[in-house]
Amino acid sequence: MERHKIHLYFRHYVHDEDTLARYKKIVNRVNRATKLTDFKFGIVVSYDPGMSVHLKDEVNKISVKLIENNVEFSVKVAHGAGFSLFNVIEENLSNMSVDRENFFVCCVDGDSYPIDDVRFLRQVRKITDEMAREGAILGLAQRTKIILPGASELYREIDEMAFALCLRGRLPVKKSVLLKIPPAYAEFGDPVPGFYCVNMTHPKIGDLFRNMEEDMVKSDMTHFTGDFYLVLAAAQMGKLVTDIVPLEDNPMGSFSMENIRSKSRDLGRTSLRKVYLAGIKSEENRKLLEKHYPPESVEKVRDVILKAMLR
């Protein structure tokens, strides 16, 4: 198989000393990774608009360290993970100076995956190899562990699995003793892993992003709605591939039922409303969820999703 080009970008959000410390580690590890592979690397770091001048200056100082290794970087006021994802792909799509034959762009959560581990880099190559071989439009990681601590995280898990069931028959699931994941993820798949590889030469890629641009006018996809949107939209246009990718960390964030509500409302305003609504309303899918989760918890999440979409 002809060797293809891979542009691997890491996204990260800085809003305090802890996330700044994580960013320092990301930069150091990306710089080490440049010595291990021929991938082209980039970082998209966004910062909280209310962050102190001191922390903003530190972000800029840290980012400059990327220049000597020809790592692309952008530092912007935060608009959320979805904005970073679409920004990376659109910039590459519109850059006509890039030779886009056999060209893949991957966007990955920088603080979750072992950036400078050769096993991680090998899996990135393996996923894009399969995408090239199968003519797939999107490649996803299947995380080796999923840690969603706290009572509210049960609802997050149910929400992700309800979404996975909207992709039934389209989201491949791999089996391995390496996986330390909840049983539902082992059965239904890992639909929003914070690791997305896009085939920039797929015949439907232009349609995918034209639709995305139209939907962004109607809906706010700047936060994690963008991840859900990309996966569901790509699944309507082409094949998805997945493979097991080591996860180093699964940093805790602030999560509440409002996150499910806002994501569902925003997806409900897009061209994907019909397919998403059908998957959530499906009684068969509800019964599948209840194999793994308390029926009252499943019903609570479904109720929040449906009410948000019907507003």
Where do the domains of the chain lie? 5-156+167-253
Q: Where are the beta strands (DSSP E) in 150-239?
A: 195-199
User: In order along the chain (311 residues), what is the average pLDDT of each group of 10 residues?
Assistant: 83 89 95 96 87 91 93 78 63 53 86 94 96 96 79 84 96 91 95 94 90 88 86 97 89 74 94 96 98 96 94 69
**pTM exceeds cut of 0.85:** yes
Per-residue pLDDT, 142: 96
Indicate the Cα dihedral angle 235, 79, 301, 303, nearest 10°. -90
Token pair 């410390």 is at which residue? 21
SS3 (DSSP) at 275: helix
- Those residues with Cβ within 8 angstroms of residue 236's Cβ, 6 or more apart along the chain or in another chain: 272, 275
DSSP class of residue 112 equals: T
d(CA 87, CA 94): 11
DSSP labels, 29-73: HHHHHTTT-S-EEEEEEEE-TT--HHHHHHHHHHHHTTGGGT-EE
Per-residue pLDDT, 91: 66
On the CB side of 46, how many CA atoms lie within 13 Å of its CA?
Answer: 19
Q: For the structural domain made of 5-156+167-253, what CATH number should be given?
A: 3.90.550.10
pLDDT in tens, 144-165: 988 765 556 789 999 999 999 9
Per-residue pLDDT, 63: 93
Per-residue pLDDT, 22: 92
Per-residue pLDDT, 103: 86
DSSP class of residue 144 equals: S
Sign of CA dihedral 125, 129, 130, 135: positive
Tell me the one-letter amino acid at 306: L
Per-residue pLDDT, 140: 98
Per-residue pLDDT, 97: 43
d(CA 157, CA 188): 12
